[in-house]
Structure 1
Amino acid sequence: MVMAQLFVRLTGRPHETDEGLDAPCEWLLREEGGDVVVEGSGSLVDLGHEAPWGDDTPDVVALAPVERVLCLSRTVPGRSVSQIARALPFAVEEFVTQDIETMHLAHGPITRGRPVSCVLVDRQLVTDWLAAIRSIGLSPAVMAPDAGLLPDACEITVLFEGDDALLRTPGHLLRIDRRALPGTLAAIAPDAPNDTPAVPAARLEVIGGTPAQTDALRQVFPGEVDAQPLEEPVLRFLASHYPASGTINMLQGAFAPARRNRGTASRWRAVAALAAVWFLLFTGMRFGEGLWADHRADALQADAAALFRELYPEARPPRNAYTEMRRRVGQPDQPAAADFELLLGALALAIDAALEGVELRSLSYSAGRGELTTELSLREYADLDRLRLQLEAEGVVVHIGSAEEQDGVVRARLRVAMG
Structure 2
Amino acid sequence: MSYRLYVRPLPPFADPDTTPDAQLYNWVLLDAGGDSQARGAGDRKEDIEQTLVQNDLENVLLVGLLPGEEALFCTADIPAKQSRFVYQALPYAVEEQIAQDIESVHLAMGNRTEHGFRVAAVDHKRMAEWVAMFSGWEHLKLEAIYPDAGLLPVTEGGWSICIDGETAMLASDQGEWLSVQARNLAMFAQTLALPPSDEVVAEVAVTVYGTEQEFEHQQADLAELRSSGRLVVREERLELMPLELLAHAHHHHLCQPINLCQGEYSIRSRKSGALNPWKPLIAVASVWFVIQIGVEVGMGLYHQQKADQTREEAMALYRQAFPDDSRTHAGNVRRVVEGQLRQLQSDGPDAGFIALMKYTGEQYSTIPDTGSVVFNSVNYSSNRGELVVDVRADSYNKLSTLRNGLTSQGLTAEIGSVVNESDGARGRLTVSGG
User: TM class by shorter-chain length?
Assistant: 0.5 to 0.7
- Provide closer, same or farther for how the CA distance between residues 72 and 185 of structure 1 changes in structure 2, counting only shifts above 3 A: farther
Please point out which of 42, 66, 69 is paired with 2:68: 66
Taking the aligned partners of 2:71 and 2:200, their CA distance within structure 1 comes to 21
In terms of mean alpha carbon deviation, does 51-60 or 177-186 score higher? 51-60
- Cα offset for 1:226? 1.3
Bigger radius of gyration, 1 or 2?
2
CA contact (8 A) 2:183 2:221 kept: no
CA contact (8 A) 1:205 1:227 kept: yes
- Provide closer, same or farther for how the CA distance between residues 189 and 171 of structure 1 changes in structure 2, counting only shifts above 3 A: farther
- Structure 2 counterpart of 1:248: 258
- Provide closer, same or farther for how the CA distance between residues 244 and 216 of structure 1 changes in structure 2, counting only shifts above 3 A: same
Could you tell me the TM-score, scaled by structure 2's length? 0.52
Q: Which amino acid aligns with 1:28?
A: V
The share of aligned pairs that are identical, in percent, is 27
- Cα offset for 1:130? 2.0
- Provide closer, same or farther for how the CA distance between residues 107 and 185 of structure 1 changes in structure 2, counting only shifts above 3 A: farther
Taking the aligned partners of 2:106 and 2:131, their CA distance within structure 1 comes to 13
Query: Are residues 1:234 and 2:242 paired?
Result: yes
CA contact (8 A) 2:155 2:206 kept: no
Query: Are residues 1:159 and 2:159 paired?
Result: no
CA contact (8 A) 2:207 2:235 kept: yes
- Cα offset for 1:180? 1.5
- Provide closer, same or farther for how the CA distance between residues 84 and 133 of structure 1 changes in structure 2, counting only shifts above 3 A: closer
- Structure 2 counterpart of 1:175: 179
Taking the aligned partners of 1:179 and 1:61, their CA distance within structure 2 comes to 29
- Structure 2 counterpart of 1:40: 40
- Structure 2 counterpart of 1:8: 7
Taking the aligned partners of 1:244 and 1:225, their CA distance within structure 2 comes to 19
CA contact (8 A) 1:204 1:223 kept: yes
CA contact (8 A) 1:104 1:122 kept: yes
CA contact (8 A) 1:171 1:198 kept: no
- Cα offset for 1:16? 3.6
- Cα offset for 1:20? 5.0
Structure 2 matches for 1:280-291, cutoff 5 A?
Answer: none
Any idea what SS the aligned residue of 1:175 has?
A: strand
**Cα deviation 1:213-260 (Å, max 9, x = unaligned):** 43221112513221121221111121111143321111111111139x
Extract unaligned runs of 5+ from structure 1: 260-419
Taking the aligned partners of 2:243 and 2:143, their CA distance within structure 1 comes to 18
- Provide closer, same or farther for how the CA distance between residues 245 and 163 of structure 1 changes in structure 2, counting only shifts above 3 A: closer
Any idea what SS the aligned residue of 1:139 has?
A: strand
CA contact (8 A) 1:189 1:198 kept: no
Taking the aligned partners of 2:168 and 2:93, their CA distance within structure 1 comes to 28
Any idea what SS the aligned residue of 2:267 has?
A: coil
Taking the aligned partners of 2:183 and 2:21, their CA distance within structure 1 comes to 34
Q: Which amino acid aligns with 1:156?
A: W
Structure 2 matches for 1:87-236, cutoff 5 A?
Answer: 87-110=89-112, 114-137=115-138, 138-154=140-156, 155-169=158-172, 170=174, 172-188=176-192, 201-208=203-210, 209-210=215-216, 211-220=219-228, 222-236=230-244
Could you tell me the TM-score, scaled by structure 1's length? 0.54
- Provide closer, same or farther for how the CA distance between residues 98 and 39 of structure 1 changes in structure 2, counting only shifts above 3 A: same
- Cα offset for 1:25? 2.3
**Cα deviation 1:2-50 (Å, max 9, x = unaligned):** 4111001133445146675764421111222333232123365344553
Q: Which amino acid aligns with 1:10?
A: P
- Provide closer, same or farther for how the CA distance between residues 90 and 199 of structure 1 changes in structure 2, counting only shifts above 3 A: farther
- Provide closer, same or farther for how the CA distance between residues 39 and 75 of structure 1 changes in structure 2, counting only shifts above 3 A: same
**Cα deviation 1:130-183 (Å, max 9, x = unaligned):** 222223333311111111111113311111111221111125311111222122
Any idea what SS the aligned residue of 2:33 has?
A: coil
CA contact (8 A) 1:81 1:110 kept: no
Q: Which amino acid aligns with 2:224?
A: A
- Cα offset for 1:207? 1.5
Any idea what SS the aligned residue of 1:7 has?
A: strand
- Structure 2 counterpart of 1:400: none
CA contact (8 A) 1:29 1:36 kept: yes
Query: How many residue pairs were aligned?
Result: 257
Q: Which amino acid aligns with 1:151?
A: P
- Provide closer, same or farther for how the CA distance between residues 43 and 86 of structure 1 changes in structure 2, counting only shifts above 3 A: farther
